[in-house]
Structure 1
Amino acid sequence: MTDQHLPPKVNQWKTLDKDLGRIVALERATAAIARPTVAIGLALVFVVICGLVAVAATGMGSGTLVIVAAAVFGAYMALNIGANDVANNMGPAVGAKALTMGGALVIAVVFETAGSLIAGGDVVSTISGGIVAPAAVADPETFIRAMMAALIAASVWLNLATWLGAPVSTTHAIVGGVLGAGAMAAGFGAVQWGTMGQIAASWVISPVLGGFFAALFLAFIKRFVNDAEDKLGAARLWVPVLIGLMAGTFTAYLAMKGLKRLVDVSMPQALVLGLVVGVAVWAVFRPVIRRRAAGMENRKRSLKQLFGLPLIASAALLSFAHGANDVANAVGPLAAIVHAVKAMDASEAVAIPLWVMGIGAFGISFGLLLFGPRLIRLVGQEITKLNQMRAYCVALSAAITVIAASGLGLPVSSTHIAVGGVFGVGFYREWNAERRARMLNLQKGKPVAPDERRRRKLVRRAHVMGIAAAWVVTVPLTALLSAVLFWMLGAVI
């Protein structure tokens, strides 16, 4: 029956339903458009508040305008760190569905803020990371211009990288900024090229080590747990060991990297502490895993549930360590500028004031809440498919790689390690699937078909190339931008 033959009331209700459907679609489209606008508005409000906090904390004076400008750009940098860098900690847990996006954001905000305020920013040198000889920019005005240019350049690049969907190293961004401004101020001879060579080497070392360890752990779990005939028996034996290894690794990691401000711990002491905690956690979790496994089926799907809670704990600990370590990338240059303006001295180490630390801590958290979900989804869902087991391997790999690299004296990026771990898990699964297909086809007496080989590509190549390109250009691009900004700021400062 056509609409024209329906009773008037039926036609009226159908028309009303269509109109309501259009209104709902319009409201959804409006909300989708307005969401980024609201986020940008809230970010601007936060930046303005940080400028006002700077005035209240330092008072009015001859250098107030410079301090306010530095506070504004420090807040902008912190927002961009939250939007870009935190995804590496939370992405795997969200991609594995161990956490919802909302739960991940809450945990990350709490632990990032705690790490920043409790253990972050022990002391920041006047020239970040020994990139430029301190004597080359000892003049306060030159130093302020260099730090301001580095801060702005790093912030702008992080903002662009987030928009492009590329997780990059905030440390490399600020290092590139200092390099460009320092070279512009004192010439290329003042640049400490040995340090720069180590940083360039970390572009390769970090993701390769992260991917290697993540693939190694996944291979171990598949060999001794997943592929075992008695899967639950193997899980009762090995899952407590893996959880203890995680606990011990993170204890050593936090002792060395995240608690410098609270206590000075050498690497041997951190490793002994990690061993003690790891054994204790293993002993505690043996009966816990035994009870949880008691009612499960002897299937691979059941085993994944055992890794959910440890994965959430590892994501929280990574966020704490990230807040403790990377907050200095946002507030270090700001603290150095405040010190140079107030003391008119750029030749000594700079302690970070509490109000400056607050800008960094809350800026990272706000940046994560407002702009972080996009990259969390990319890292956790769009590079390769993750479950609790694979994501756990990525988190464990991140902590172990940092400790191993520290022991060998190798400079590494936590961002590159985490994303490299995701790549490593994906490429291992590709290799393993290809190996199984080849063995199966050899038994049938035929080679693996090209179409079948293409279907077994479990890592998105476009993301691999895009992220790798962003990593490579981070230092040179921020250096170039910082050099231009240093020259432009000469007319202002």
Structure 2
Amino acid sequence: MAALEQYKWMPITCFVVAFFTAFGMGANDVSNSFATAVGSKALTMKQACMIAAVMEFSGSFLLGGNVASTIMKGITEPKYFADEPQVLMFGMVCVLFSVAVWLILATMKGLPVSTTHSCIGGIIGMTVVCKGFKAVNWKGIGMVFSSWIIAPVVSGLLSTFLFVVVRKTILRAANSLQRAFKSYSPIVGFTIGFNIFLILYNSESLGINLPIHTSALICLGIAITVALVIRFTALPYIRRHVEAEGRIAESRVGLLSEMDDVMDISKNGGMIQMVEKSGDLVVEKQVPESVMNDTTLVADVKNDATVEEMHKNAEQFDPATEKLFSYLQVITAVFNSFAHGANDVSNSIGPLAACLTIYETGDVMQQAKVPPIALVIGGVGLVVGLVCLGYKVMASMGVNMVTVTPSRGFTIELGAALIILMGSAFGIPLSTTHCKVGSTVGVGIAEGKNGVNWKLLYGVFAGWIVTLVICALTTGLLFAVVVRFIE
């Protein structure tokens, strides 16, 4: 029998609310994994949702328990709740409820917010209202906050480095397509090998914790095997497809180059209606939508002069090479989705794990492992939220912060995923939003100071702060009102 059997309704309620919190996360935060892939046309929205459903769940189940442990005990000082463990249990229910409501409302409005900020803000608000500022683990908070600053900077620097290297060695080369083909298999092998390495090195959910050298050797063999299999099976097919697409793209460039000055663009069924000026003559043309959707030619930009100028000045690369990078970007988007599931599932599962542990033991100081059923609830919630509402925020993210093409998206995805997964393996609750924005800005800066929409970036920063404050206030208020009502 559980130590706090009389409060059985709390963990049951917590399970339900945790599912809806994960639902909100899947709907809102999945854009961090696939927004650039969709924005650059490497994936359609439907394809992104299907891939993310598998990878988000896999990441949450295989590595999510590591970070959930930190969320569970790293934000509050449990000793202040030792005499009233049921109060901390109820506090976790309030946290999850407030975060779920905020995430779903933000998603309905198409606003991308940080789920990590939402959860930690909620825990802080509940703790302060219940036990005062002394009960907040400020050292733990400081470590989390510092990671929110350091992680995007490191992600940005890594993605900048990756893009500069790719641009110099591949994109600007005379034989860029051939160089890209040579790089394809090793990159895929590395990506898959690195994922498996972190699972073997430290997967709390599966009870796997191999020595680092053993994990590295196993994954090196897996990476080499995958690279060879890709090289002799998938790559010949991809080569034929990319070269054919490249020839089509060149003819599209010729069509678009005939247009002197595009004055207006509108969509009519499968055609793009264009009003252009050629000399003194105003002409209306209908161009197939497929032409305008080429990833290296036209981006989905808002009617904003800053954004339009940013895309206009962006360096253009060989269309066929960009097409090959769209395949690579799918791989790195999958990598990023796995990382997102591994790190951000903790935002719904951490409070649930705390509630379950206290219910079973009656001890707020108990160090408990995250139960697999909690990870399953979180993973399923992510997938359902993604399928039902994920398209709203994914579409709003677009490519308005920087110019995104497959080659740029590839380096953004890879840089962010590497940092997020390393954080997950070591139990550090990074914000995937921060890492993704840091990587995006890093690639934009590589194009020069005008390569980033700074106005939009400042708005994103403001949104992070607002999210933290709103969730802290609403959770604290909810807790206070309900407790007073019960009394």
- TM bucket normalised to smaller: 0.7 to 0.9
Structural mapping, 1:263-278, within 5 Å: 263-278=208-223
Choose the corresponding residue for 2:120, options 148, 170, 175.
175
Map of 1:470 onto structure 2: 463
Choose the corresponding residue for 1:337, options 355, 359, 367.
355
Structural mapping, 1:65-464, within 5 Å: 65-117=9-61, 120-121=64-65, 125=69, 128-138=72-82, 139-163=84-108, 165-256=110-201, 260-286=205-231, 289=235, 292-293=238-239, 296=243, 300-341=318-359, 343-353=361-371, 356-402=374-420, 412-431=430-449, 457-464=450-457
Is contact 1:78-1:367 (8 Å) kept? Answer: yes
**Gap change, CA 1:165 and 1:384, over 3 Å in 2:** farther
Aligned length: 409
**In the TM superposition, what is the alpha-carbon distance from 1:108 to its structure 2 partner?**
1.1
**Gap change, CA 1:475 and 1:411, over 3 Å in 2:** same
More helix by share: 1
**In the TM superposition, what is the alpha-carbon distance from 1:99 to its structure 2 partner?**
1.4
Aligned-partner residue type, residue 63 of structure 1: Y
Rounded to whole Å, the distance in 1 between the matches of 2:64 and 2:71 is: 18
**In the TM superposition, what is the alpha-carbon distance from 1:339 to its structure 2 partner?**
4.3
Aligned-partner residue type, residue 226 of structure 1: L
Rounded to whole Å, the distance in 2 between the matches of 1:113 and 1:411 is: 18
**In the TM superposition, what is the alpha-carbon distance from 1:372 to its structure 2 partner?**
0.8
**In the TM superposition, what is the alpha-carbon distance from 1:397 to its structure 2 partner?**
0.5
Aligned-partner residue type, residue 400 of structure 1: L
1:486 matched to 2:431? The reply is no
**In the TM superposition, what is the alpha-carbon distance from 1:77 to its structure 2 partner?**
0.7
**Gap change, CA 1:260 and 1:317, over 3 Å in 2:** farther
Map of 2:312 onto structure 1: none
Is contact 2:416-2:435 (8 Å) kept? Answer: yes
Map of 1:447 onto structure 2: none
**In the TM superposition, what is the alpha-carbon distance from 1:367 to its structure 2 partner?**
1.0
Secondary structure of residue in 2 paired with 1:180: helix
Rounded to whole Å, the distance in 1 between the matches of 2:337 and 2:203 is: 10
Is contact 1:327-1:361 (8 Å) kept? Answer: yes
Higher-Rg member (1/2):
1
Secondary structure of residue in 2 paired with 1:305: helix
**Gap change, CA 1:336 and 1:404, over 3 Å in 2:** closer
Query: 1:149-181 deviations in whole A, cap 9, x for unaligned?
Result: 222233233334434544333233222222222
User: What is the TM-score normalised by the length of structure 2?
Assistant: 0.73
**In the TM superposition, what is the alpha-carbon distance from 1:223 to its structure 2 partner?**
0.7
**Which is worse superposed, 362-371 or 266-275?**
266-275
**Gap change, CA 1:129 and 1:322, over 3 Å in 2:** farther
Is contact 1:147-1:178 (8 Å) kept? Answer: yes
Secondary structure of residue in 1 paired with 2:43: coil
Secondary structure of residue in 2 paired with 1:470: helix
Query: 1:16-65 deviations in whole A, cap 9, x for unaligned?
Result: xxxxxxxxxxxxxxxxxxxxxxxxxxxxxxxxxxxxxxxxxx9xx84354
Rounded to whole Å, the distance in 2 between the matches of 1:424 and 1:326 is: 22
Is contact 1:122-1:261 (8 Å) kept? Answer: no
Aligned-partner residue type, residue 149 of structure 1: C
Query: 1:83-117 deviations in whole A, cap 9, x for unaligned?
Result: 11111112122122221111111111122234444
Gaps of 5+ in 2: 248-316
Rounded to whole Å, the distance in 1 between the matches of 2:461 and 2:201 is: 28
**Gap change, CA 1:110 and 1:379, over 3 Å in 2:** same
**Which is worse superposed, 339-348 or 103-112?**
339-348
Is contact 1:119-1:260 (8 Å) kept? Answer: yes
Rounded to whole Å, the distance in 1 between the matches of 2:238 and 2:91 is: 57
Rounded to whole Å, the distance in 1 between the matches of 2:190 and 2:145 is: 31
More strand by share: 2
Rounded to whole Å, the distance in 2 between the matches of 1:121 and 1:111 is: 16
**In the TM superposition, what is the alpha-carbon distance from 1:304 to its structure 2 partner?**
1.9
**Gap change, CA 1:129 and 1:163, over 3 Å in 2:** farther
Question: How large is the RMSD of aligned CA atoms in angstroms?
Answer: 3.4
Secondary structure of residue in 2 paired with 1:383: coil
Query: 1:398-417 deviations in whole A, cap 9, x for unaligned?
Result: 23223666899976322211
**Which is worse superposed, 321-330 or 223-232?**
321-330
